[in-house]
């Protein structure tokens, strides 16, 4: 078996994949429709939308296969994203890359594989639309073009999903995107008995910045705040701009001490930014934190954190604002 080569732009590719916020999300009809279509059109037992993560390939849609992921080092799709064209393997037993691969010698006993790379809007290949059969088979040129067309449909769905769930100004999730990811994260937390904490952030004196320095500068503050969230929080944390100058983050499997540590790290990142930029104002925020209670729904958890944020905001009233004075960061109520 020959493991797939790692693309030269692997770090940027993985960053693109993670930014899509699609990994480990629930099945969606928009993708299942295409894999059902591919399975029927080509008469194969298995069709997949496979996303190649750093250590695994994860299936956003799977027809004919119960697994949700497999290790990347044995994946056919890892080879597919290394090239620009369709990866076509008529009989895996005749291919030195795959003849002794565990997916060939054991379930699902792959013989035929055809995988078309899926590209994100920035050109990075994030996965494949692939066909699998336990019997060798051939594809003619028309078949290959058809599979490419179906792959374009998947790319369009990924792009539309990204546009619908991302905040255009900051590039992080919007309220709709956050709800999708947070519901999935809370489901995992309940299933595995993990803790979950919701943080709601609101910028202090944001109107003063808009009125004093202009709305373009206000937009710059919002984009910078989102970038600083990405810098301070873990890759596994879900965060979003839910509207105006309000942001949220959901932390799963964290102790109260770890939550406090994340908040402290974020304050430090904000302080460093303010010291570095010196734009005539400081970015300031108030934050409220609420821990998930048994059987609590997402809306209730967010409402409680929101109420605690306003308690913290009232405590911070009278902070210096856009004056160039040191930042007064509101305390967190948990």
Strands 87-89 and 196-203: unpaired
The confidence score (pLDDT) of residue 285 equals 95
Domains of the chain: 10-163 (3.30.450.40), 175-315 (3.30.70.270)
pLDDT average, residue stretch 80-101: 95
The confidence score (pLDDT) of residue 181 equals 78
Q: What's the pLDDT band for 318 if we cut at 50, 70, 90? A: low
**Of 126, 173, 132, which is closest to residue 154 (Cα–Cα)?**
126
Q: What's the pLDDT band for 330 if we cut at 50, 70, 90? A: very low
- What residues contact residue 91 under an 8 Å CB cut-off, 6+ apart? 111, 112, 136
Q: How far apart are CA 63 and CA 46, in angstroms?
A: 5
Which H or E run contains 238? strand 238-243
Q: How far apart are CA 210 and CA 188, in angstroms?
A: 40
Q: What is the pLDDT of residues 95-153, one digit of tens each?
A: 999 999 999 999 999 999 999 999 988 889 999 999 999 999 999 999 999 999 999 99
């Amino acid at each position: 078996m020959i493991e797939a080569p790692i693309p030269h732009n692997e770090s940027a590719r993985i960053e693109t994949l993670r930014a899509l916020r699609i990994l480990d999300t629930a099945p969606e009809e928009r993708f299942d429709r295409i894999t059902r279509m591919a399975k029927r059109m080509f008469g194969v037992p298995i069709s997949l939308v496979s996303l190649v993560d750093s250590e695994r390939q994860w299936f956003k849609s799977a027809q004919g296969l119960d697994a949700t992921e497999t290790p990347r080092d044995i994946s056919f799709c890892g080879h597919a994203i290394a090239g620009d064209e369709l990866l076509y393997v008529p009989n895996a037993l005749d291919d030195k890359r795959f003849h002794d691969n565990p997916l060939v010698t054991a379930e699902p006993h792959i013989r035929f594989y055809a995988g078309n790379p899926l590209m994100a809007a920035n050109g990075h290949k994030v996965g494949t639309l692939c066909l699998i059969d336990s019997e060798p088979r051939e594809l003619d040129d028309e078949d290959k073009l058809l599979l490419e067309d179906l792959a374009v449909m998947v790319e369009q769905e990924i792009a539309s999903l990204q546009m619908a769930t991302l905040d255009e100004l900051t590039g992080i999730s919007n309220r709709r995107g956050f709800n999708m990811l947070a519901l999935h994260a809370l489901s995992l937390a309940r299933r595995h008995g993990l803790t979950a904490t919701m943080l709601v952030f609101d910028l202090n004196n944001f109107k003063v910045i808009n009125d004093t320095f202009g709305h373009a500068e206000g937009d710059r503050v919002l984009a910078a705040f989102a970038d600083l969230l990405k810098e301070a929080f873990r890759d596994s944390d879900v965060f979003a701009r839910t509207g105006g100058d309000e942001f949220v983050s959901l932390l799963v499997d964290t102790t109260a001490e770890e939550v406090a540590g994340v908040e402290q790290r974020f304050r430090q990142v904000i302080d460093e930014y303010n010291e570095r930029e010196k734009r005539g104002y400081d970015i300031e925020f108030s934050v409220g934190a609420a821990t998930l209670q048994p059987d609590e729904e997402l809306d209730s958890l967010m409402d409680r954190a929101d109420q605690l944020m306003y308690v913290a905001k009232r405590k911070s009233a009278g902070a210096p604002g856009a004056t160039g004075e040191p930042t007064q960061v509101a305390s967190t109520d948990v």
